[in-house]
Structure 1
Amino acid sequence: MVMTLLEWTGERIIPKLLKPTNGMLLEHIARYYFATPYIKGRVLDIACGTGYGCHMVAKDRKRELTELIAVDIDDDTIFYANREYHHQKITYQKADALDPALPEKLGLFDTILSFETIEHVADDLLFMDNLYRMLKPGGTLVLSSPFGRGRGKETSEPFHVHQLTPQEFEELFVRFSQVEIYYQRGPTFEKPRDGVRYFIGVAVCTK
């Protein structure tokens, strides 16, 4: 069963199959903890994976949260999330992040989470347009992505289409009224410091 789950999840995290000290697990969990203060109203987690993060924020922000829509493109992943991380305020459903009709299908949100997703899609600008259209005025987007050689360039990661440069990453958010860029190092987040090389960017954007 373990091999089967690993095969269909690719990079998706399954906490039950990993040691609590696993570095990738700690990084992924940290992103949801980082985003928790921004969770309110109607929330979208796009490419939610196995659902552990949705469940975390739903429990922690149950008073501020009215509804959490969690979408992923993989049927087995959605099935697993429904089985293992059910919550009365979470709806797991299949959806394609690059579907131009996605905003009409899902509606508007107060908060959108997108962690380690944009590097997996062929058209990152269409993806960003969908997110922008689904975010309410004054709403918050929290998005993370690893850095790499740039748009359209090969990456050593087998599941990544490409990895943006830090400059390309920042340029994704030009339409937003307010943008704060953070950098993740392991489970911690910080503003840039001279002489430090960062591998993961996290943007907090207000429409």
Structure 2
Amino acid sequence: MPSLKPNGIVPFQVDFKKNGIDVSSKEQAIIILDEVAKLHAHGAKTVGITYSANQSQTDKILDTYRKGDWQTGTIGSNQASVIFEIEKLLTETKYQHLQGVYRTIPITTMKYSNGRAMTADDPSVQKSIEHASEFMANGGMLLGWRNQSTPQGHLAIGGGVAANVQTLDQKHIINKWVQSHLLQ
């Protein structure tokens, strides 16, 4: 059990494949919410998980939380499909009590323009990192999403489509932030 006041990112393993078999988005969502429930039961007020987001997702997620809502309507593939399943599960009796506890913490890695993946705006990347830091500074416990493909000392941020459109500077900014906050 990690300390409830880590003031850093707690690495959290959520594999999308185990022993050559796909782990469904719903199964991954349950792994995350069960950890959130456990940490909340031990006193954590808010628990978030890092999420490799596109620029419009970051804006929508931050706007949703700013308005006091919890349902961001995140859709997409890979991590986005897990976030979608988390929000569906949060409407079920078992997890409803976590609606104000669980938070998706987006890190902007790219944007879409006319359906094409493109480099995110630098201010959006910076804003997402500042929001994540603020979440921790305000007492939020931040789980750092890792999977079986994540190199040691890193998080599952900026892979897939984003890997081909992120600038080296953006990758460096995100990696520097992760390294300065990741608890080993």
Higher relative CO (Cα under 8 Å, sequence separation at least 6) belongs to 2
Give TM-score, length-normalised by structure 2.
0.36
Whichever of the two has the greater Rg, that structure is 1
User: What TM-score results when the alignment is normalised by the length of structure 1?
Assistant: 0.33
